[in-house]
Structure 1
Amino acid sequence: MKNLEQRAADLGFELPDGTPVAKLSIIITLYFKEGYTAGKKLKIIDCFGKFNDEFGAHLNGLLQDSYKLLTSESLEEAFTKIRSSSGNERCELHLTSASSTKEAADYGISVLNSREVHEDSDRSYIKLVLPRDFIASDEGLTTYRTWVKYLCNQVEAEHGYGGLSTALPFDYDVYMPIEYELAQKYTGLDVDSMPHSLASELIDHIKGVNWQTIVGNSFIANLGGEPALRQKLSSRSDIDFVNYDNGLIIQAGEYPQLGAEGRDDLDAYIAVNKILKPLRIPEPDQIHHYSPHGICFEEESTKQWYARFDQE
């Protein structure tokens, strides 16, 4: 954590007027089935209610169709819209500490569900964002890990990841070149500005490995089962396993690593990646779409990023 704090200032960007547009964050992103069902929507509402109860003092806004101030009334209106939605209506909701769509948030929770008409050809996602220093204390680390397991159980996560990432504004298109530049420099950063874009790719595959990698039972079975998976990593004392109702949370090291060249030890990430690589998207679509504002991920650099832990 000391090395992380020393370099954190290099991973944040502000506009000349002081508006933050990129922040180093701790994230949790999970993909799950049947987000269009009434039961799963109620679980999602529970997640948002719990997040508001715990972090409401930091939250300013709500985004559902448009940005508005977060109040008890606006939140209940958003929940009512989700409850009353049909199976073929997309339910998107964000709670955020940002004061506008132009500002990167310290705290946030987001969801976008799949449609019933797509059945098993699409996935829903839920994502949580916390400040980089949230896990610096034992209490914060415990809270983070509790949230990971809680969210996994609530949505019956198929797979996902948790760790360091660059938080961008809702209006993220302009700032994708910043995300690209930082991801080239810091291997441990997850590129996660558009988790929705992977929803149709992540049916039979996972995105990859980070500090925490969430793997559901169906994927674990493809690797020979949980005992075999644990055995393959049993020689490493720095890899931790936590069961949730539908699978495993695999943690590579006590704290996440930025992956700065020559200064961070990514051996645990590499070891987990070696075992889970068969589950990874074999031919991923490029992470970013075209941007006139600078260099972003294109086809070749996307392949290189997915393969960043592919070493002995």
Structure 2
Amino acid sequence: MHLDADLNELERHLVIPTADGRPGCIIGWLATVYFEKPWTRPVREAVAEAGEHYIGQLRDHLVWARRSGSTYLYRMGTKNVRMPREWLPDRDETEGWSWGFHGGEKEDDASPFQVSAMGSHPVDKDLGYFHARLPFSWFAQHPDTTFADFVLPMCKRLRPLSGYAGLGFLLPLTVEGKILGEPLVTPLASRFPGLEVDDPGGGTFSLHDGIKGVNWLTILSDRWVEAAGGRDYLRIRLDEPTFPFYPYDGGLMIQAGPKPQIGDTTRDLWPEHYVTLHKVLKKIQIKKYGRFHLGGPGPRMDQPATLAWLVRFDGK
């Protein structure tokens, strides 16, 4: 009983409010993976399956849904809400697609319960993404499972090109909500280097030629495993049991240390296992990126700030 109360109190402290007191950003678990050829039916079927798996487990926590091609969100249970399996596999290959579900009280609120995905059409040839979240206290309340148990099935279904998973900043699903929430992230991102600054949509343009970086879990396709030196080389550089490997058909998931690390630059504390993994995978990390944040008032992660964040572990 006391544990539940303590966890609820902790969750409240991890909600960063906007000026009007709404949840603008939340610290919690996130997993984002990127995959090729999102316009093809096998990929769309895999995305629908991954989405249905999340929604089936967490339906009671989801309040809002966004349909493909629409900026509007609809309340769960209404006739406007369609599950991914009802339309995504049959989507025409010449059309892009996107969808999302979240559990905020209001449609522009940040929520620790969210799943979303997006895919381009073949003309653009951009990557697709799949993104899923859980509250910080989820695994304390569900000790029979682990974060790796949550992420690995996603990798097995989607066989991503790359991905990352760990603790990070959870922004709203809507553009309007993100604009209000992004200034809350910028000062914290510079202080806590182990927290992921996520930008799933931006990654679809930028991650053809390398990985974004590392977090507690880093997902590499066979292409990037080989480009990094191969599994034998990675095992030599990354000792067991500090860096568990989770192989799956098409790739490898690497865990950096026994528990996630946040760090604190004001005390010169760096997530040492993330730094080690960053050094080993540096040669396959991207060198160019747009910007994590949209425009607007307040501190934003523009392109210089974004590039500085990507190389934050250099020299540590």
Q: Same fold (TM over 0.5)?
A: yes
Say which SS state the counterpart of residue 182 (structure 1) adopts: helix
The residue that corresponds to 2:74 in the other structure is 68
Residue 163 of structure 2 corresponds to: 160
Which residue number in structure 2 is paired with residue 181 of structure 1? 187
Alignment partners' CA distance in 1, 2:115 and 2:24: 17
Q: Pick closer, same or farther for the CA change 1:265–1:6 going to 2, 3 Å.
A: farther
**Percent of counterpart pairs with the same letter?**
25
Q: Is the 8 A contact 1:287 1:298 kept in 2?
A: yes
Please tell me whether the aligned partners of residues 49 and 85 of structure 2 are also in contact (alpha carbons under 8 angstroms): no
1:166-185 C-alpha deviation (Å, 9 max, x unpaired)? 11222201221111121012
| Structure 2 CA distance for partners of 1:8 and 1:303, relative to 1, 3 Å | farther
| Distance apart, 1:309 and its partner CA | 1.3
Q: Does 1:55 align with 2:58?
A: yes
Whole-Å separation in 1 of the counterparts to 2:134 and 2:244 = 22
Which of the numbers 107, 124, 143 marks the counterpart of 1:139?
143
1:299 Cα offset (Å): 2.9
Kept in 2: contact 1:259–1:266 (CA 8 A):
yes
Q: Aligned-pair distance for 1:237?
A: 3.6
Q: Quote how far apart the aligned CAs of 1:191 are.
A: 0.8
Give the match for residue 260 of structure 1: 264
Residue matched to 1:196: 201
Q: Name 1:109's counterpart in structure 2.
A: 115
Structure 1 Cα separation of the partners of residues 77 and 288 of structure 2: 43
Instruction: Report the CA distance between 1:271 and its aligned residue.
Output: 0.6
Q: Give, in angstroms, the shift of residue 88 of structure 1.
A: 2.3
**1:215 corresponds to 2:223:** no
User: Which structure 2 residues correspond to residues 1-312 of structure 1 after superposition, within 5 A?
Assistant: 11-15=14-18, 18-64=21-67, 65=70, 66-71=72-77, 74-76=80-82, 79-119=85-125, 122-136=126-140, 139=143, 141-142=145-146, 144-169=147-172, 170=174, 171-192=177-198, 194-234=199-239, 237-261=241-265, 262=267, 266-291=271-296, 293-312=297-316
CA distance in 1, matches of 2:10, 2:191: 12
How many Å apart are 1:35 and its aligned residue? Answer: 1.2
CA deviation vs aligned residue, 1:113-156 (integer Å, no higher than 9, x gap): 1212234xx100000011011133562652x3222111111111
Q: In 2, are the aligned partners of 1:110 and 1:128 still within 8 Å (CA)? A: yes
- Report the residue type matching 2:250 in the other structure: N
Give, in whole Å, the separation in 1 of the partners of 2:25 and 2:224: 33
Query: 1 CA distance for matches of 2:15 and 2:245?
Result: 32
Whole-angstrom CA distance in 2 between matches of 1:203 and 1:300:
21
> SS at 2:300's partner residue?
coil
Distance in 1 (CA, whole Å) between partners of 2:111 and 2:293 is 20
Q: TM-score, normalised by structure 1?
A: 0.89
Of the structure 1 ranges 298-307 and 21-30, higher mean CA displacement relative to structure 2 is found in: 298-307
**Residues of 1 paired with 2:141 and 2:218: CA distance?**
21
CA deviation string 1:64-96 (max 9, x = no partner):
122111128555465433233211212111111
TM-score (norm 2): 0.88
Change (3 A) 1:178 1:140: farther
Q: CA RMSD in A?
A: 2.4
Q: 1:9 to 1:97 in 2, by over 3 A?
A: closer
Moved over 6 A (4+): 4-8
CA contact (8 A) 1:105 1:167 kept: yes
Q: Matched residues in 2 for 1:22 and 1:150: separation?
A: 27
Shift of residue 101 of structure 1? 2.5
